[in-house]
Structures are given as C-alpha cells and as structure tokens.
Structure 1
Amino acid sequence: MAERLVEFADKSADAASTGTASYQLLALPPALLKQLSSTSPDNLLAPLEIRGDPSDSAVLVTATQTYSIRGVQNSNSLCICASGRGEGKGRRKWFVGGDGALDGTMEVGEDNANGEPARKKARTDAIEIEAVLHETLEVVPTVARVEKLDGLLKGAEFSGDSAEEEKAHASHPTFDSLRSHIPASDAEIRGALSRKRVVTLDGCLRPLPPSFLAQILPSILSSLPLPPALAHSNGATKKKDKGKAKDVKPFVDGAVWTEAEEQDLLDSMDAVDCGNDEVARQVLAWYGDEVEGGRKRWKLDAAKLVKELGVVLLAEGGFGQQPLDPFVAKWKDLAGGFAPLCELSLLAGIHLHRPPPISTIQYLPPSSLSPDPAARFAELFSLRPRWLESEMGLFIDDLTGGDKKKRDALVLKFVRKVREKETVWWTARNLWT
C-alpha cells in the first residue's frame, strides 16, 4: 500500500505573518467559463471584477455582463490540499492507509533524521490540507442596476454654452470615477449613460436636462428635409382639411431616414446655445450616423427625434398627470413638418394614458419604478387595477433582461389572469396585501 504524508497547514500567528493563503470556491456558469477559456488576440483572458459600494450587494462583472454572487452551503466539507512540499523545519507526521487493518484506521509514524519514513514503505508526495470549506459561491447572470447614476451625475448637467461660462471651474464626474460605484459592467453603464442622454465633454460626464433637449430637438428637426412621402402627406392634409389637425402616419411603425449637411445641423444647434461641436456630434450620433464620403453629412432617423421630443416634453411635466390634448398639440407644434409622426404609439412603455372622459397622460419610465419585482408589480397595480399583457409587459421587461423564462416566472408569482370574453386581463394575485 502506497504511503502518503498528510498534514494541516500551520495556522499559528507566526504562519499568518508569512501570508498563509485563504480560499473560497467559485462555481462559474458555462457561458462565463467559455468566455474565460477563450483568449483574445493578445492572449489575455477576459477581465473579472467585483463591484459595488459597501451598501450594495457585490456583483461580479465582465466587460459586458453583470453576475450576482450567492453563497451555497455544501452538504460535505471540501478540503483544499497542496501536493508536495519544499524544505521545511523539523520532522513531519505521515499517515498510511494500511490494508492490513480491519478497522480502516491509518498508521502514523515520523520521518527519520534523513527525512524518510522510519518504515520502509513507498509513499507518494506529501499532501497538506490548507483549508476546509463549507460553502461555495455561485454566480448567475443578473440585470444591471444603474439607478444610482442619477444621484452621481446630479449637478453636472450641461445646459448650454451660456450656463457653461458661469460654472467653468466646477468639477464633474468622469467614467472612471463612477464605474466602481455602479454594480454593472462597463458596457451596461455606457448603455445607461446613452439612454439617459449623457455626453462626454473634456473627459467629464454631462447629462443634458430635458429642458435643454426640448430646445435642441425642434431646431434639429427644422433643419432636416422632409422625405417625399411625408411632404406629400403634409400637403394633402393641408389642402383637404385646412386648419384642422389630421393624423397621417405613413412611417410611425418604422424609421424615417433623412440626410442633411453636418454644418447645417451644427448651425441649427448653435442657434439654441449649443455651439460646442463635441457635444453637438454626440447628440447627432444618438439619432443616426455620419454618411461616408467627401462632404460631411448625417443620416438621421426623424421618427427617433420626434419620439425623443415627446419623451422630454413628458419629463418636463413631471410624474403627475397632464391633459392629453394640450400635450399632443405642443408636441406637434415643436415637431414642425414631422408632426404626422406624433403618435402615442411612439411613447409606448414610458407613459400611462387614461382615455376619456379623463384624457390624461403621465410620464412613467421603467427607471422611475422600483427594481424589486414585488414592489414593481405593487406600484403598477396601484396605478391601474388591471392591465393588458401587451401594456404591462413593457414595464417589467427591464427586470428580466428580455429573458422570457424569468418573465413568465414573475408573472406566475405576481399576476392573476382574468378572461373577459376575448380579452385576458392581468390583475394582482394577492389583492388583500
């Protein structure tokens, strides 16, 4: 029977001062393991980083994905062992799993002066038990939590060139200064910054407030040429029903692409106190792309610009209800020739519409709702006792990251489906709570 030396690592104070290692097992999902196993062209593994403020639950992030970390108790103790041993001080114990002992006990002896076992039996390298673990950490994909961005960016707003002169020496956050405070990956943080309409100016992050966007967007739309079909629709509407607003929606369900000279676009933004070309080009990039070629031109999605204009007008009105007809009238007036695109369907998922006799609209972006699923459903059902699936689904998709299985699990837990004729309504499962 082969002999093997087994010992526990020295955990005395003297050993601790020499840097005795500690361990924790981490179980990786297949997708993350595959990502870490693949190497980039320069043979570097994808980076992993633990993020979150002390008040947050720590998360593990890659360059593009966020993972939550949870502890799982092991039913059996797991030993972390080190095989082999360098030159040590003194004589070591060794253990033999004897095949002659009926009770299965291990024989114990001591090394002789030459470092060999006193018994002349072959044994393998030594095994040192460095730690005994009773818990394994697991990582699972989770939705990035970027709610803290608004608080971290507060006071850094860019409100135009005139306002910038007044606070020229103010310090503002940078991407590197806030990334460690947000429990999300770099890619998810950058995506959130883009959705929140944050530009980078001189290396600092500067959100554009709704009041400033409400000046920029109509100016950009006024400098865009109308697509032929939309121009024809506008002309036909004026001839047929002069002085009355009639909805013409040839492009509402898709993009409305139109091109313009870059200088014309920059001049239009300069006219509303946004003369910084660095900021202006970042704004244009939210709604389209620069056209390749000799002359600098931009291809912009007018429907996206019109939608953004509606969003900022909603945001300016706060989170309370506002009359629908005056809101739509102002939206169409600022959209100019693109007024036929001003349909409430463009604002799906960010507003709550109450039909006549109330006829109000309320700003309700998912980011304003609780990130906790139970609280989110409670908020939604307090606003409206029953929902269509197509309506409520828009307000809960961000909780699951688009994962249909996770969404179905949340619906099963918090929603009761009630059928009325051909319509299925979603109501609260626990009406008494």
Structure 2
Amino acid sequence: MAERLVTFADKSGDAASASTASYQLLALPPALLKQLSSSSPDDSLAPLEIRGDPSDSAVLVTATQTYSIRGVQNSNSLCICASGNGKGKGRRKWFVGGDGGSDGTMEVEEDDADGGPARKKPRTNAIEIEAVLHETLEVVPTVARVDKLDGLLQGAEFTGDSAEDDKVQVSHPTFNSLRSHIPASDAEIRDALSRKRVITLDGCLRPLPPSFLAQILPSVLSSLPLPPALAHSNGAMRKTDKGKAKDVKPVVEGAVWTDAEEQDLLDSLDAVDCGNEEVARQVLGWFGSETEGGRKRWKLDAAKLVKELGVVLLAEGGFGQQQIDPFVAKWKDSAGGFAPLCKLSLLAGIHLHRPPPISTIQYLPPSSLSPDPAARFAELFSLKPRWLESEMGLFIDDLTGGDKKKRDALVLKFVRKVREKETVWWTPRNLWT
C-alpha cells in the first residue's frame, strides 16, 4: 500500500498562499434535482434563490415552491483535500488515472506558457486537508410564510378614486421590492396577494380594505342577472313570508355562474367611486373571467362574490364576537337578490360560530393565527376547549400545505382525542417539559 503524508492547510499563514475556499454539502430532493438538471443556461430566471430578512429563517425558493434549509449532523467526517508538493502551497489540484504515479494517479499541471499541451508528472505522496465537514444542509418542501405581507403593505390601501385625487403622491411597494423580504416563491406570493385582495395600480401593490370592498361588491351583485334557480328560490321565499308555502328547499351549493356585459359592470363600479378600469377589471378577475364573443361580457361566480361579501362584513366587525342574527340580516340585505346564497357554510374556515344560547360569530382567518404550530394549537384551544375534527382541521391545514402525514404528526403531538358516545372531540394534550 502506498504511503501518504497528510497535513492540514495553514489558515493563519500568508494570505496569498493560504486557501480561502469554504465548503458546505447541500442535499437536494429528487424533484428539485430533476428541475435543476432540466433547466437550460438560457433561462431568464435563476432556478434557485435564497430569501428572507435577517430576522427570518432563510429559505430556498424556485419559481413555484418554497424549501426550508436545515442542518443535519453527520456521524462521519468528510475531508476536502488538495495535494501538497511544497510549491504553490494551498493550490488545489485534481487527479486523473494514469501510469506515472505509484498508485496509478497523475497530477495534471496547467498548460505551458508557450501554449504546449499539459504536462503530466508523478503525483507526490502528500495530501493537504483544506476542510473537514461534519454537517450536511438539507432542503425540504415547506409551507410559504406570507404573514408579513400585511405589515409591508400597510399604508398603501386603495380606497376609491376620490381619495386618490386628494392624496399626496407617495411611493408604494412594488412586487420586485417586496419579493426579497418574503420567504416564499413568486407564485406563492402572487397567490397570497390575490387572497388578500391586493391590486396592481401603476406598477404598485395596493390592498383593497374591507370597508371599500363592502361598497363595491353589493354594486357588482346588483348588476348581475339572477339565475333561474335563484329567481325561483326568491319567489318561494316571498310565498313563505305570506304564509302560502313551507319548507323551501335551499339553493344548490357550489358555484353559481351568471354573466353580464362588461360596460354594465364597469358602470356599477364607477357608481361607487371605483371608475378606474384597471382596478375594476382586476376586481372582476377575482370572481370570474371574460367570455369570448363579439361584445365584451364577464362570466362571474355569484356564490364567490357573496362569500367575499360575508368575509368583508365579518372583517369590518374586527376580531371580536358579533351577534349572529344582525350579521346575517346585514349580509342578506347587502346581497340583494342573491340573499339565498348567504349561508354560514360559505364562511367555513374563516369564522368561529358559537351556537345558542350565545349565538355569536367571530372573524377568525388562519392568517390571523400564529404560524408556529404549538402557538396555533394553544390559541385555538383558548378559544374553545374542545373541537370537532372537521372544525379544527380548517384552521391548521395551512400549517401543513395539505400534507396528511404532517397534519397527523401535529395532531398526535398537540391533541388528545376524547370519545363521547358517537362523537370524537379534540382536546389539548398536556405537554410536560
């Protein structure tokens, strides 16, 4: 067996001769590795980017997915080595198979100054260790954390055309100025901006506050023709009020599509101080799409509009409890002919309903709860000491991104299941430290 002289690189010596290279192993999941392998050098966007403010845990993002970065300690050590021959100390070299060395390896020198071919000479029996690695970085898919959006967009609200005319011109955040501060991919940030009802006006991001949405949504609904099923339901309701009919069947749940001419919709928005067509079309785009044909028309989901109206009315009341009967009455009155769609089931996952004798409703979107699982469960159990799985599940799904295994792991850690007759309740698990 060939002998080797092993030494460690001198990091405290001459800066010109000492190696300044640093190393870190990064383990990639198969899906990400495949994406990197298939990307071409001509791609306009970098395939990977590390994001997050100094106060955040750094994440690795692609165009559509966020990955958390975690360190894994290795039981074995990996040595990064370079050959040492006394000349050019610290210079890293690489080796190929050959016949010049005693162990069948050769040292490859750079080309001659005269442009001649690379010279080969036997490798010396010395190895210099530049670094010893004990940790590997792993990246795993994670849920995007977009909870900082509200704070970053504060003060940029769009509240109508007249407010814009009176407002002093100030600079507002743009997507490019925002994206580097949010530990999430571009696609996930855009999806969050849409959910938070943020429009783009003159290149700037402008959230629409609930008070403004509560004005424009009833106007849009009033300009939509009623589908036959709803018109029949409204007629049956009127008969019930007169005592001529009973047991009216509820309308079918799900999307309720109806269409209207674009100009009629734009006029309805202009009547409530939203005459900017750029803003109006983005608002309509949240609830439907343009239809093909000669005259411009929009096909909109009335159920989605009614749900959004209920959400903004809840949000206007803050995070405290509201009496449920006055809330539902106001919701139906604002929905007009679409009042039969005003069902609390539309608001599942964003409200907490306390049945009689309390009979209150509370605005509770998951975005208002802590992103930390332990804190999230503590908050939920402080609101209600026990939950049905179908209820609490709606408030923890965003922690796992819909991954059933991750959800089951969280439930096992923080929840105790208690069976009462045919009902299984989720109660808090006492964790002793």
How many aligned positions are there?
405
Give the distance between the partners of 1:273 and 1:123, measured in 2 at CA.
80
In the TM superposition, residue 384 of structure 1 has moved relative to its aligned partner by 0.6
**Does the 8 Å contact 2:153/2:173 carry over to 1?**
yes
**Does the 8 Å contact 2:17/2:89 carry over to 1?**
no
* Segment of structure 1 superposing worse, 39-48 or 60-69: 39-48
Residue 356 of structure 2: aligned partner:
356
What are the within-5 Å matches in structure 2 for residues 240-389 of structure 1? 240-242=240-242, 249-251=250-252, 253-389=253-389
Give the distance between the partners of 2:8 and 2:30, measured in 1 at CA.
33
**Does the 8 Å contact 1:38/1:45 carry over to 2?**
no
Give the distance between the partners of 1:245 and 1:363, measured in 2 at CA.
33
**Does the 8 Å contact 2:416/2:426 carry over to 1?**
yes
Give the distance between the partners of 1:151 and 1:134, measured in 2 at CA.
39
Give the distance between the partners of 1:300 and 1:125, measured in 2 at CA.
76
In the TM superposition, residue 360 of structure 1 has moved relative to its aligned partner by 0.5
Residue 20 of structure 1: aligned partner:
20
In the TM superposition, residue 13 of structure 1 has moved relative to its aligned partner by 5.2
1:174 alignment partner AA: T
In the TM superposition, residue 264 of structure 1 has moved relative to its aligned partner by 0.7
Residue 183 of structure 2: aligned partner:
183
In the TM superposition, residue 62 of structure 1 has moved relative to its aligned partner by 1.0
Alpha carbons of 1:431 and 1:19: their partners in 2 closer, same or farther (altered >3 Å)?
closer
Residue 113 of structure 2: aligned partner:
none
1:399 alignment partner AA: L
In the TM superposition, residue 89 of structure 1 has moved relative to its aligned partner by 3.9
Give the distance between the partners of 1:19 and 1:218, measured in 2 at CA.
69
Q: Structure 2: where are the runs of 5+ without partners?
A: 92-102, 104-120
Give the distance between the partners of 2:5 and 2:45, measured in 1 at CA.
36
What are the within-5 Å matches in structure 2 for residues 201-240 of structure 1? 201-240=201-240
* Segment of structure 1 superposing worse, 146-155 or 32-41: 32-41
Give the distance between the partners of 1:2 and 1:431, measured in 2 at CA.
58
2:426 alignment partner AA: W
Give the distance between the partners of 1:126 and 1:226, measured in 2 at CA.
85
Give the distance between the partners of 1:256 and 1:206, measured in 2 at CA.
29
Please report the RMSD computed on the Cα atoms of aligned residues, expressed in angstroms. 3.0
SS in 1 for 2:129: strand
Residue 394 of structure 1: aligned partner:
394
**Does the 8 Å contact 2:68/2:139 carry over to 1?**
yes
In the TM superposition, residue 240 of structure 1 has moved relative to its aligned partner by 3.5
Give the distance between the partners of 1:383 and 1:178, measured in 2 at CA.
34
Give the distance between the partners of 1:22 and 1:372, measured in 2 at CA.
33
In the TM superposition, residue 15 of structure 1 has moved relative to its aligned partner by 3.3
Q: Deviations over 1:272-305 (max 9, x none)?
A: 0001111111111100111122211111000000
Q: Deviations over 1:221-255 (max 9, x none)?
A: 0000111111111122213424999875323x210
**Does the 8 Å contact 2:11/2:18 carry over to 1?**
no
Give the distance between the partners of 1:348 and 1:148, measured in 2 at CA.
24
TM-score under structure 2 length normalisation: 0.86
Give the distance between the partners of 2:27 and 2:431, measured in 1 at CA.
40
**Does the 8 Å contact 1:35/1:46 carry over to 2?**
no
In the TM superposition, residue 417 of structure 1 has moved relative to its aligned partner by 0.8
1:292 alignment partner AA: E
Give the distance between the partners of 2:214 and 2:46, measured in 1 at CA.
41
* Segment of structure 1 superposing worse, 351-360 or 228-237: 228-237
Residue 165 of structure 2: aligned partner:
165
SS in 2 for 1:159: coil
Residue 134 of structure 1: aligned partner:
134
**Does the 8 Å contact 1:324/1:360 carry over to 2?**
yes
In the TM superposition, residue 20 of structure 1 has moved relative to its aligned partner by 2.6
**Does the 8 Å contact 1:248/1:340 carry over to 2?**
no
Q: Deviations over 1:118-177 (max 9, x none)?
A: xxx964898653321121111111111111110000000000001111224111011111
Give the distance between the partners of 1:431 and 1:88, measured in 2 at CA.
62
SS in 2 for 1:15: coil
Give the distance between the partners of 2:181 and 2:328, measured in 1 at CA.
39
**Does the 8 Å contact 2:415/2:427 carry over to 1?**
yes
